[in-house]
């Protein structure tokens, strides 16, 4: 049986770790050739090696999605390596939380840039490639569907105290998704979003020592939820637990599979029934 994404090329930002890595592996398991991105080269190369060990193809485009020129470099990597673009998953991001009166302009712009501006720039850079390909296929009488999946959050659909920057960016992603679905429908591109609820990753997992930080552009950012808070949250999730990165990747795959060819401009919540 032919894999459903056989021969398709997929760009997945933030795919060196966590949910992004599982998205890359899921798409690769269905035959897609993957452009791996991560802020750091080492985890990106690790994901690429995992794809290759599965018998798949992968190349790495490391670096911050917010860097000047990154979007074009990302797109060029796909075109140069695989000859075109079939799937784009805008997944990269992190949180940097505090209440509004304590939030700095740098904190605001950092999160808006990684979660909203970077996906916009990536899609803008992809447009010439996607439109020319679609026009050539239409001239030959072919209808070929391509996919964009943007990652949102239940913080974007319902808001979340202490996350005004993140909530605003993730709400913006839904608006971006609906707009691009209307602009790119003529190219036979499905543009949808997945809003994640509680998913167990290094950004949510309670650290063993009670304190954990990541370094982003020289900023030390605290990550991980308090263990008691995480346990309390699980009692409010109808399915009784937080999700796994593999389950999150499965939700993204739904919008990449050919069965979603007539679905566009939509968002689904992958959160076990939990809502804010």
**Active-site entry in 94, 166, 187, 253:** 166
Quote the DSSP letter at residue 186: G
pTM: 0.94
3 within domain boundaries: no
247 pLDDT higher than 80: yes
4 in a domain, yes or no?
A: no
3-state secondary structure of 184: helix
Per residue in 259-272, pLDDT (tens digit) is 999 999 999 999 99
**Tokens for 36?**
């791996």
Quick one: tokens of 46?
A: 């690790």
Q: In the prediction, which pLDDT does 223 show? A: 66
Predicted confidence (pLDDT) per residue in 107-149, tens digit: 999 999 999 999 999 999 999 999 999 999 999 999 999 999 9
Position 124 in a domain: yes
State yes or no: pLDDT of 54 exceeds 60: yes
Categorize the per-residue pLDDT at 46 as very low, low, confident or very high, splitting at 50, 70 and 90: very high
Is residue 13 situated within a structural domain? Answer: yes
Q: How many domains does the chain have?
A: 1
Q: How far apart are CA 47 and CA 274, in angstroms?
A: 30
Find the CATH number of the domain harbouring 122: 3.40.50.720
**Mean pLDDT, all residues of the chain:** 94
Domain assignment present for residue 1? The answer is no
The confidence score (pLDDT) of residue 131 equals 98
Round to whole Å and give the CA distance between 187 and 131: 6
Rounded CA-CA distance 163/151 in Å is 16
Q: Which pLDDT score is estimated for 226? A: 62
Query: Quick check: is 276 in a domain?
Result: no
Nearest partner of 185 among 147, 223, 237, 153, judged by Cα: 147
Question: Which residues form the domain of 193?
Answer: 9-270
Residue 275 located in a structural domain: no
> Among 151, 210, 139, 116, which Cα is nearest to 12's?
151
Check: CB of residue 109 under 8 Å from CB of residue 96: no
For this structure, is 253 an active site residue? no
Alpha carbons 245 and 248: distance in angstroms, whole number: 5
């Amino acid at each position: 049986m032919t894999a459903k994404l056989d021969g398709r090329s997929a760009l997945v930002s933030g795919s060196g770790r966590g949910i992004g890595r599982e998205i890359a592996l899921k798409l690769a398991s269905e035959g897609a050739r993957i452009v791996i991105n991560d802020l750091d080269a080492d985890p990106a190369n690790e994901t690429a090696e995992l794809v290759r060990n599965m018998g798949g193809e992968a190349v790495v485009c490391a670096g911050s999605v917010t860097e000047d020129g990154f979007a074009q470099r990302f797109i060029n990597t796909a075109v140069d390596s695989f000859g075109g673009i079939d799937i784009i998953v805008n997944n990269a991001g992190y949180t940097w939380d505090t209440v509004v009166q304590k939030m700095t302009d740098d904190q605001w712009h950092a999160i808006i840039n990684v979660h909203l501006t970077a996906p916009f720039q990536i899609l803008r850079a992809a447009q010439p490639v996607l439109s020319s390909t679609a026009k050539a296929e239409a001239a030959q009488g072919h209808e070929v569907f391509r996919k964009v999946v943007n990652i949102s959050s239940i913080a974007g659909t319902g808001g979340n105290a202490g996350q005004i920057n993140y909530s605003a960016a993730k709400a913006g992603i839904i608006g971006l998704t609906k707009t691009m679905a209307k602009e790119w429908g003529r190219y036979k591109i499905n543009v949808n979003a997945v809003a994640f609820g509680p998913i167990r990753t290094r950004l949510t997992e309670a650290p063993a020592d009670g304190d954990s930080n990541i370094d982003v552009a020289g900023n030390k950012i605290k990550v991980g939820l308090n263990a008691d808070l995480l346990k309390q949250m699980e009692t409010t999730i109808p399915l009784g637990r937080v999700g796994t990165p593999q389950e999150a990747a499965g939700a993204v795959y739904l919008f990449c599979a050919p069965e979603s060819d007539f679905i566009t401009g939509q968002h689904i919540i992958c959160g076990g029934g939990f809502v804010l």
